[in-house]
Amino acid sequence: MNSRRKLVFIVGLVLIMASASSALASSILNMEFEDAPLPNIFKVIGQSGGYNVLVDPSVSGEFSFVLKNMSVTEALDLVTRTTGYRYRLLGNTLIIGTEDRLKSEFGTEDVIFALVENVPVEKAAQMVDLMVPSVTTYVDEDVNLLVLFGLSTDLKFAQELLVQYDQKAFITPDPWAETTGGERLVMRFARVQYAGADMVDYAQALLPSRDFRYDAKTKNLSAMTTADEWKRVEQLILEKDFPDFVLKGLVSEVKPISALVEYEGKITIVKTGEFYHGWEVKEIKNTGVEFSQGERSFTVRIGR
């Protein structure tokens, strides 16, 4: 079997004996997948949690993941969010598919009610609409109530964002006051995939007068800024948010040339045209390796 397509995983389980399904679902997983078929990844994770796993035929592709010290739910959330698919639990069966397939074939949407205490409920609804467009929002301004409709996994993510958004720590004496340029300060969020909390330092250096925060669970950078300021932050993220690949060496004796790349403690041989943790190996030269993803690209040199 081609080693690049080989599914490699190490599973460590910590079982808490309560009810069978809840105990297995709380197991702690340590898994590594390298260029593995996505349906297989979901099956391994789900079966480790004690679930029967049903993967819709629409689920496809090969991906690499390193899942360390995660619960089954955390692992499923990470993989589905990264790949764009969704999951639903029906009894002890885990179903994986696209959002439309789950809605049409495997049940209706769920609903939750969220009381917003520290920010205008309309602003909270706008934030959810922006960050989780698959969730439908309804507002009751009289009681500051936000009603959310959607798949349970999407609702969970929306709730996590609301908890972060609706915090007194973000409230200043006049949080919606106009700036000298005539624009209002608005709480804004952006996804930071790789740089983590370091992005706070980068953003703070760019806009010293703003208070930036990073939530490791949702991987969101947030701050109250003007629209123009946030455009600068988004550009900064495009320039700084890259995976920390380290080029350990080049293998030039055999053509085509290949490279030894380390990421998260694991060294892998990559070749031009292959995908490495979601990034295409665009070009390998004696001076370094170029990776690309859509319109973004970066080059890794020996020792970096």
Q: HEC profile for 50-111? A: CCEEEECCCCCCEEEEEEEEEEHHHHHHHHHHHHCCEEEEECCEEEEECHHHHHHHCCCCEE
Overall fold of domain 246-300: SH3 type barrels. (2.30.30)
Q: Is the pLDDT of residue 292 over 80?
A: yes
| Cβ-contact 87, 153 below 8 angstroms | yes
* Per-domain boundaries in the chain: 3-105, 110-168, 172-240, 246-300
Which residues have CB under 8 Å from 172's CB, separation 6+? 224
Please report the sign of the dihedral spanned by the C-alpha atoms of residue 89, residue 94, residue 95, residue 98: positive
Q: What is the predicted pLDDT for the residue at 44?
A: 92
CATH architecture of the domain formed by 3-105: 3-Layer(bab) Sandwich (3.55)
pLDDT band at 107 (very low <50, low <70, confident <90, very high): low
**pLDDT, mean of residues 236-254:** 88
Sheet holding 186-191, edge to edge: 186-191, 220-225, 213-215
For residues 34 and 19, the answer to whether their CB atoms sit within 8 Å is no
The neighbouring-strand residues paired with 259 are 250, 270
How many Å from the N-terminal Cα to the C-terminal Cα in the chain? 31
What's the whole-model pTM score?
A: 0.45
User: Residue for token digits 């958004």?
Assistant: 165
**Do the domains at 110-168 and 172-240 have one common CATH topology?**
yes
User: What confidence score (pLDDT) does residue 41 get?
Assistant: 93
- The reported pLDDT for the residue numbered 109 is 64
- pLDDT classification of 24: cutoffs 50, 70, 90: very low
CATH of domain 110-168: 3.30.1370.120
Name 301's bridge partners.
none
Q: Cα-Cα-Cα-Cα dihedral of 235, 236, 239, 245, to 10°?
A: -140
CATH topology of domain 172-240: Ribosomal Protein S8; Chain: A, domain 1 (3.30.1370)
Q: How far apart are CA 136 and CA 109, in angstroms?
A: 10
d(CA 186, CA 124): 11
Query: Is the pLDDT higher at 9 or at 158?
Result: 158
**Distance, CA of 220 to CA of 189 (rounded, Å):** 6
